[in-house]
């Protein structure tokens, strides 16, 4: 019996202090009551669970793209646009990168659109196509800001071969992009249909129109899933980028925006194989900058032949020793 009482006493001696510690786990520090026990609710808040505040954003009542109003009175149109809008506006890192790259490429695109007499909204097509990355390539082989396939680029007179791929330079690709979009709009009579044809090909849009009744628009057609999302995604990108301050993207400092590259362009032919490192030394520039400015020649580890379009950082030395 004495042994049982002793054991019980020892157990209580351990448990009672623990219970007291838990029940009195609040302390006052400098007049502020804080808990010394980690808060489960706080941990859930950190992980984005209920308790964390989140701003909800809704679509504008009127949305236009290239001067054409989207028929938001149709539930299917509203909901599909809202889906793309929510995916865009809640992807903060991606939107920030769009905004930073836009500082570099939008002035060039906007100028080309004005000169071609095309809607300014077409600049958002480049965002949807490439996220404003001029060297990105799709699994199918489309490349550049406007994601042209090799055959389409060659059809418009752009050089694409083993040595040189001009799709990676924004300026020449932009010129044929303007021409192609203009042709598509003239053929289909609608910017939404023109953009759909740009994404999936003219024949697929022709077939989809033939299956529908006369007068059907883009929003009524049965198209590949990517193409059915395409115009909505471009419209959503426009909404977010044009109203970035309303969606919490107003803290981007000017220094964080990516400035346009400054370079001088020339034509070079290489009479003998020349390494990029040698070319950088002769030009008095660093290797990485030289490769960055000339992505269209990236397939060549050693430069030979030509003539090639070649870009040097502004202020760099000329390189007459290797090119003419």
Structure confidence by residue, pLDDT tens digits, 282-307: 888 889 999 999 999 988 889 989 89
Tell me the per-residue pLDDT of 138-184, one tens digit each, with 9 for 90 and over. 999 999 999 999 999 999 999 999 899 999 999 999 999 999 999 99
Helices (H), the chain: 2-23, 40-46, 75-89, 92-116, 123-130, 150-155, 170-188, 191-200, 202-211, 225-242, 276-283, 287-293
Neighbouring CB atoms inside 10 A of 139's CB total 5
Phi first, then psi: give them for residue 20, nearest 5 degrees. -65, -40
What is the model's pLDDT at position 319? 62
Helix (H, G, I), strand (E, B) or coil at 250: coil
Residue 56, phi-psi category: left (phi > 0), alpha (psi -120 to 50), beta (remainder): beta
Q: What pTM does this model have?
A: 0.79
Per-chain mean pLDDT for the chain: 83
Q: CB-hemisphere CA count at 13 Å for 159?
A: 12
The structural domains of the chain, ordered by start, are 2-46 (no CATH), 64-177+225-256 (1.10.530), 263-313 (3.10.350)
Look up tokens 């989140």; give the residue: 54
pLDDT below 50 — which residues of the chain?
A: 22-52, 321-324
């Amino acid at each position: 019996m004495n042994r049982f009482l002793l054991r019980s006493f020892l157990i209580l001696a351990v448990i009672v202090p623990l219970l007291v510690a838990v029940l009195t786990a609040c302390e006052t520090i400098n007049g502020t009551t804080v808990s010394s026990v980690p808060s489960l609710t706080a941990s859930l808040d950190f992980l984005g669970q209920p308790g964390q505040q989140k701003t909800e954003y809704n679509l504008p009542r009127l949305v236009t793209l290239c001067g054409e109003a989207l028929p938001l009175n149709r539930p299917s149109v509203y909901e599909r646009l809202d889906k793309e809008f929510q995916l865009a506006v809640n992807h903060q890192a991606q939107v920030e990168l769009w905004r930073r790259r836009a500082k570099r490429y939008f002035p060039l695109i906007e100028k080309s659109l004005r000169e071609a007499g095309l809607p300014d909204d077409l600049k958002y097509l480049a965002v949807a196509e490439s996220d404003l990355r001029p060297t990105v390539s799709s699994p199918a082989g489309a490349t550049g800001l406007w994601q042209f396939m090799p055959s389409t680029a060659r059809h418009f007179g752009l050089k694409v071969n083993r040595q040189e791929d001009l799709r990676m330079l924004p300026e020449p690709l932009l010129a044929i992009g303007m021409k192609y979009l203009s042709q598509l709009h003239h053929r289909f009579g609608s910017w939404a249909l023109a953009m759909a044809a740009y994404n999936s090909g003219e024949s697929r849009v022709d077939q989809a129109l033939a299956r529908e009744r006369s007068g059907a628009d883009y929003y009524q057609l049965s198209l590949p899933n990517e193409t059915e999302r395409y115009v909505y995604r471009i419209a959503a990108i426009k909404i977010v980028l044009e109203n970035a301050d309303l969606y919490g993207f107003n803290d981007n400092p000017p220094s964080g925006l990516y400035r346009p590259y400054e370079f001088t362009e020339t034509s070079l032919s290489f009479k003998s194989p020349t390494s990029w490192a040698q070319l950088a030394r002769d030009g008095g520039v660093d290797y990485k900058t030289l490769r960055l400015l000339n992505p269209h020649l990236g397939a060549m580890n050693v430069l030979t032949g030509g003539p090639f379009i070649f870009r040097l950082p502004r202020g760099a030395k000329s390189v007459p020793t290797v090119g003419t």
